[in-house]
Structure 1
């Protein structure tokens, strides 16, 4: 099957996607990068592709829509999502979205391989905020997580409880933790589950955090996750964390539903993500760009 020369939109095993092909033919199967957007802007697969296009990476870049977002939003749209969040953000949104997103990934990837004739090139995952929780669940729990060569986590949700508490501080609220939500938090505490990630093949993991993001909610948990991975990896350099100046939590401006011009922080994130992925997916670079070992 010839590689298409333009983005492809569709649905794979019930999951909406936007797939961007490599810009040129390669002598071997192209790497595949699968990405999940945040719930903050950019909050759809198309908006995330505009904010984080992974410019210069010769790979299939496939952006998946999260459950309860975009075309899968509940009846009532944003108002219903807001109601669900105020009712119980962990039990109604964060837990179900992360779990469903991870559970539907294997079937979606299988369908994408058939629809797009992806071949058996190396696989990497990218996630922003809520999407990073999906990536981490896949790395922790998926049957074939050892097939994943690399991951990039942006504004990462390395531990759910500090992230929820940070969101509460942002909106002047305190989340009422209880037995059920604490069980969800334990499942989404990837610092505590770091040994499970290591057992799945020691994927190369880069975290990218904004200097203006909540330090207790995102930077400190990210640092703990990277330290745990580095302590256990055969090569500690396969786990790192980058702080981007002048970046808060979101990668785009509100409303963040449609593609929008890339912000300066998002462009910096894109460069750091591409560098990491190029380095760990075999040095796949578009013509005229720097070598795989060059940090942006």
Structure 2
């Protein structure tokens, strides 16, 4: 396979994997997890989807990878301690979604990608970004997929110690990241594959089932035996060999996106 292409798109770092012949081809954009793999380069190594005749462009999340503060995740951990929802989960997902239209335009200016609908893929909190693109934007999408996704941010908040002190502002933020409640908008946009590890956090796994039920026709659940929440070993910042469970996820994603790939005009 060709070596990854790295760069920035409107300030967003990316790792791009070209189709075999480097030709003009459809585009699939991804957002990585904040668990391992927690950078665009590491996510590209975990889920490369090498057999797809498409460009796979893996975007970096805020304060991750090339955008880490002082070369570490410590600044992000401090935001978690400050306020897990309003300082960390909500603004990270919001910023990643808000910076995407400009990043997409830059990707199209830099790489020979088709100018038609795109594919979107996200893992964990990156899954919330992909779902937000589907639910809250009009960017044309031919198919989407999420892996162990933050489908309801309240479920993610509950994974952290203590009772979160919701107020009017944080309730509104949490509502904006409840994608089961937004299933109607998502279902009208593109088919969605929901990948859930059988060993993922029980609440996140339950949300995956609820989302598929709410979406109905056009969505599918892919359950992965032996997969917990992460897709790679720690520290998850640099590219690493693909784990067996991630290889199974990769195969399922490849089959899904191949089924829905548009013809290049």
TM-score by shorter chain over 0.5 = yes
- Which residue of structure 2 aligns with residue 16 of structure 1? 13
Residue of structure 2 in register with 1:250 after alignment: 230
The residue aligned with 2:147 is 154
Task: Quote the Cα distance in structure 1 between the aligned partners of 2:260 and 2:138.
Answer: 21
CA deviation string 1:42-87 (max 9, x = no partner): 0000000011111211110100000121222235732221111011
What does residue 206 of structure 1 align with? Answer: 193
**Does residue 242 of structure 2 align to residue 262 of structure 1?**
yes
Using structure 2 for the length normalisation, give the TM-score: 0.94
TM-score, structure 1 normalization: 0.84
Instruction: Return the offset for 1:282.
Output: 4.6
Aligned runs of 1:52-71 on 2, under 5 Å?
Answer: 52-71=47-66
1:81 maps to 2:61: no
Contact 2:29 2:120 in 1 (8 A): yes
> Secondary structure of 2:196's partner?
strand
Out of 119, 123, 127, the position equivalent to 2:118 is: 123
CA distance in structure 2 between the partners assigned to 1:244 and 1:175 by the alignment: 31
Deviations 1:88-136 (A, max 9, x none): 1111111011111111111101111011132325410110001001001
Q: From 146, 154, 163, give the equivalent of 2:156.
A: 163
Q: 1:82 and 1:67, CA in 2 relative to 1: closer, same or farther beyond 3 A? A: same
Q: Is the 8 A contact 2:122 2:128 kept in 1?
A: yes
> Following superposition of structure 1 onto structure 2, how do residues 31-110 of structure 1 map, counting pairs within 5 Å?
31-75=26-70, 77-110=72-105
Q: Which stretches in structure 2 are left out of the alignment for 5+ residues?
A: none
Asked if 2 retains the 8 angstrom alpha-carbon contact of 1:30 and 1:122, the reply is no
Q: Conserved in 2, the CA contact under 8 Å of 1:30 and 1:121?
A: no
Once the two structures are TM-superposed, the CA of residue 175 in structure 1 deviates from its matched residue by: 2.9
Structure 2: how far apart are the matches of 1:34 and 1:174? 35
Q: Identify the match of residue 252 of structure 2 among 272, 279, 292.
A: 272
Q: Distance in 2 between matches of 1:50 and 1:34?
A: 14
**Distance in structure 2 (CA, Å) of the matches to 1:279 and 1:155:** 21
Distance 2:96 2:37 in 1: 17
Please state whether the residue corresponding to 1:111 is helix, strand or coil. helix
CA contact (8 A) 1:42 1:250 kept: yes
From 117, 131, 136, the equivalent of 1:136 is 131
Offset of 1:223 from its aligned partner? 1.2
Shift of 1:205: 0.2
- 1:219 alignment counterpart: 205
Between 70-79 and 130-139, report the one with greater CA deviation. Answer: 70-79
Residues 138-158 of structure 1 deviation map (CA, whole Å, 9 limit, x = unaligned): 1111132xx101011000111
Structure 1 regions of 5+ residues with no counterpart? 231-235, 285-296
How far residue 283 of structure 1 moved from its aligned partner, in angstroms, is 8.9
Partner of 1:196: 185
- Closer, same or farther in 2 for the Cα pair 1:283/1:276, shift >3 Å? farther
CA contact (8 A) 2:25 2:112 kept: no
